[in-house]
């Protein structure tokens, strides 16, 4: 076997796998190098196991309303069963990813790769040297851990899925979707959860009503919030961890998790040797076609810091392969990305928030619906859900949609289709409602709840 390739991909995660498969399908000789497990963060320790744990935790909500439907449930939860079944599913998926690469003829190399030049790569364990016409860096990102004394006593999303036992209490630092999803997961599984966040409200950048409603929903599930604070020191205290906060307050927790952002995986990659320049926040700088400043080296996914989401990494990998190996230059549109936060209550969002729309458009109409989801109506559960449509201009083009409540993630995926087509409010109105659903609110709004004119709410 020769060590010369058309394409060498570093990193077997969402972006790298898609790029390698597509390039091989177009006839390129491709090798993909992975130092851990094929599938990357999403499959092994991200989206997939996270969603499985979300399902596990949501039985708590179901049991809460079950009695109002006549059910009497005596439930108990076994953490090792969940971990073992998760592992089985992850193993199955990894095999499927391997098969998907091998079918079009991609060579999978399990090793760590370092760039030694613009077209050369060295394997750390085997010492093998590879040359390639094109190199794709798809090394993803890793959890950022604050440099505080005792930080090594804390865990990150890398370790949280395989805790040997459920802790009695947990402190989670962070206010983004990873922190909040794990907070609801562990609260649902019976852990006493506290979130500490340096800002003054969770989920920065999302719709304000969604942020407020989510905080209330999480508090209703027993989660406590500490704002405008960080962890300053961790110390062992018997089987617990004693946490000193930036305020000086000290409290013990069964476990401490850092969910304080993710850093691009560029350390020790040989970028300087190959002449690849970094962009913002230590991520690799690329153009619209994912090409770095070095013409033979491209980068996709989390390592480029554009949008740290699996579908974006996959699309960047696909468009890279189209551009370089199918003579079909395609640039990913990052302007309108639907996203879900799998908390309880769930969040779905796409497009502009109210302030963003009001800053860009002189006429903005906002349609809001709040109501108790039908599943709660027989019980005493008072939680309400929220659906919001933001429209701009005289033709009321839909520029934003924000949902909080059951099924928000599924709904926002479908809203993304008319929005990608440039739909207006009248297009939504033409759609016939499905009754009784929550989503029908989106096609039955009559008049705006309020408007913005030249940036002012009226």
Q: Is 337 in the site for ligand FAD (CB under 6 A)?
A: no
On the 0-12 / 13-18 / 19+ scale of CB atoms within 10 A, 25 is middle
Q: Is 46 in the site for ligand FAD (CB under 6 A)?
A: yes
Choose the binding region for ligand FAD from 72-80, 218-226, 303-311, 424-432 (rule: CB under 6 A).
Answer: 303-311
Q: Is 173 in the site for ligand FAD (CB under 6 A)?
A: no
Q: Is 13 in the site for ligand FAD (CB under 6 A)?
A: yes
Q: Closest distance between ligand FAD and the C-beta of residue 44, in Å? A: 7
* Cβ nearer to ligand FAD, comparing 64 with 111: 111
Q: Is 176 in the site for ligand FAD (CB under 6 A)?
A: no
Interface residue with ligand FAD among 3, 6, 25, 47 (CB under 6 A) is 47
CA 234/CA 104 separation, integer angstroms: 49
Q: Closest distance between ligand FAD and the C-beta of residue 250, in Å? A: 28
On the 0-12 / 13-18 / 19+ scale of CB atoms within 10 A, 395 is exposed
* Cβ nearer to ligand FAD, comparing 252 with 311: 311
CA 137/CA 135 separation, integer angstroms: 7
Q: Bridge partners of 350?
A: 401
Interface residue with ligand FAD among 113, 202, 256, 294 (CB under 6 A) is 113
Q: What token pair was written down for 163?
A: 């805790």
Q: Closest distance between ligand FAD and the C-beta of residue 203, in Å? A: 14
DSSP 227-283: ES--EEEEEEETTEEEEEETTS-EEEESEEEE---EEES-TTS-HHHHTPPB-GGGP
SS3 413: helix
Instruction: Please calculate the CA angle 105-111-114 and round it to the nearest 5 degrees.
Output: 105
Q: Give the total residue count for the chain.
A: 458
Helix (H) or strand (E) holding 107: strand 107-110
Q: Is 40 in the site for ligand FAD (CB under 6 A)?
A: yes
Interface residue with ligand FAD among 311, 373, 407, 418 (CB under 6 A) is 311
Give yes or no: 435 in active site.
yes
Interface residue with ligand FAD among 61, 207, 215, 302 (CB under 6 A) is 302
Residue in the block written with tokens 């076609």: 289
Q: Pattern 346-385, binding to ligand FAD, x per CB under 6 A?
A: ----------------------------------------
DSSP 71-95: --------HHHHHHHHHHHHHHHHH
Q: What token pair was written down for 178?
A: 């990873």
Site for ligand FAD (CB under 6 A): how many residues?
Answer: 34
CA 109/CA 275 separation, integer angstroms: 24
363-371 and 385-392 as β-strands: parallel, antiparallel, unpaired? antiparallel
The DSSP code for 341 is E
Looking at 72, 168, 402, 435, which residue is catalytic? 435
Q: Closest distance between ligand FAD and the C-beta of residue 338, in Å? A: 10
Q: Closest distance between ligand FAD and the C-beta of residue 386, in Å? A: 21
CA 103/CA 106 separation, integer angstroms: 7
Choose the binding region for ligand FAD from 40-48, 213-221, 240-248, 433-441 (rule: CB under 6 A).
Answer: 40-48
* Cβ nearer to ligand FAD, comparing 172 with 357: 172
Helix (H) or strand (E) holding 30: strand 30-34
Interface residue with ligand FAD among 8, 12, 60, 403 (CB under 6 A) is 12
Interface residue with ligand FAD among 21, 22, 50, 406 (CB under 6 A) is 50
Q: Closest distance between ligand FAD and the C-beta of residue 206, in Å? A: 15
Helix (H) or strand (E) holding 19: helix 14-25
Q: Helix H segments across 291-407? A: 310-325, 354-360
* Cβ nearer to ligand FAD, comparing 46 with 405: 46
* Cβ nearer to ligand FAD, comparing 301 with 406: 301
Interface residue with ligand FAD among 5, 8, 16, 386 (CB under 6 A) is 16
Q: Hey, which residues between 177 and 196 contact ligand FAD (CB under 6 A)? A: 178
Residue 2 dihedral angles phi and psi, to the nearest 5°: -80, 155
Q: Closest distance between ligand FAD and the C-beta of residue 300, in Å? A: 7
CB 170 within 8 A of CB 155: no
CA 165/CA 188 separation, integer angstroms: 15
Q: Is 15 in the site for ligand FAD (CB under 6 A)?
A: yes
CB 124 within 8 A of CB 116: no
Choose the binding region for ligand FAD from 37-45, 207-215, 327-335, 364-372 (rule: CB under 6 A).
Answer: 37-45
Interface residue with ligand FAD among 135, 140, 187, 223 (CB under 6 A) is 140
Q: Which residues bind ligand FAD (CB under 6 A)?
A: 10-16, 33-36, 40-42, 46-47, 50, 112-113, 138-140, 157, 178, 265, 269, 301-303, 308-311, 313
Active-site positions read 435
């Amino acid at each position: 076997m020769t060590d010369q390739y058309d394409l060498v991909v570093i990193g077997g995660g969402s972006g790298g796998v898609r790029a390698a498969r597509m390039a091989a399908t177009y006839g390129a000789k491709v090798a993909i190098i992975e130092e851990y497990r094929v599938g990357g963060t999403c499959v092994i320790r991200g989206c997939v196991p996270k969603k499985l744990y979300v399902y596990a935790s949501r039985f708590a909500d179901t049991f809460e309303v079950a009695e109002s439907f006549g059910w009497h449930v005596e439930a108990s939860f076994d953490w090792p069963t969940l971990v073992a079944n998760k592992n089985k599913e992850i193993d199955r998926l990894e095999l499927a990813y391997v098969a998907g690469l091998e079918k079009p003829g991609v060579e999978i190399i399990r090793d760590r790769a370092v760039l030694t030049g613009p077209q050369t790569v060295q394997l750390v364990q085997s010492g093998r040297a590879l040359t390639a016409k094109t190199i794709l860096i798809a090394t993803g990102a890793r959890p950022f851990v604050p440099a505080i004394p005792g930080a090594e006593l804390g865990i990150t999303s890398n370790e949280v899925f395989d805790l040997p036992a459920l802790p009695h209490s947990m402190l989670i630092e962070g206010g983004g979707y990873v922190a909040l999803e794990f907070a609801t997961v562990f609260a649902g599984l019976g852990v006493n959860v506290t979130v500490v966040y340096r800002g003054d409200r969770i989920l920065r950048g999302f719709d304000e009503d969604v942020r407020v409603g989510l905080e209330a929903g999480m508090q209703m599930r027993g989660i406590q919030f500490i704002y405008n604070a960080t962890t300053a020191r961790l110390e062992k205290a018997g089987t617990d961890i004693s946490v000193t906060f930036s305020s000086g307050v000290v409290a013990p927790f069964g476990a401490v998790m850092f969910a304080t952002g993710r850093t691009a995986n560029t350390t020790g990659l040989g970028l300087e040797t190959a002449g690849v320049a970094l962009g913002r926040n230590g991520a690799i700088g690329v153009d619209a076609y994912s090409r770095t400043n070095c013409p033979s080296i491209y980068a996709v996914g989390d390592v480029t810091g554009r949008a740290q989401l699996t579908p974006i990494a996959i699309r960047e990998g696909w468009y890279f392969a189209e551009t370089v190996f199918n003579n079909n230059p395609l640039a990913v549109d990052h302007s309108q990305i639907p996203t879900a936060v799998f908390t309880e209550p769930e969040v779905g969002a796409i497009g502009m928030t109210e302030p963003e729309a009001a800053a860009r458009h002189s006429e903005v109409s906002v349609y809001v619906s709040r109501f108790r989801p039908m599943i709660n109506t027989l019980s005493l559960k008072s939680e309400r859900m929220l659906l919001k449509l933001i429209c701009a201009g005289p033709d009321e083009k839909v520029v934003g949609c924000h949902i909080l409540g059951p099924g928000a993630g599924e709904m926002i995926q479908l809203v993304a289709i008319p929005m990608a087509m440039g739909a207006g409010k009248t297009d939504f109105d033409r759609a016939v409602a499905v009754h009784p659903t929550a989503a029908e609110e989106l096609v039955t709004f009559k008049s705006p709840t309020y408007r913005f004119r030249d940036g002012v709410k009226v």
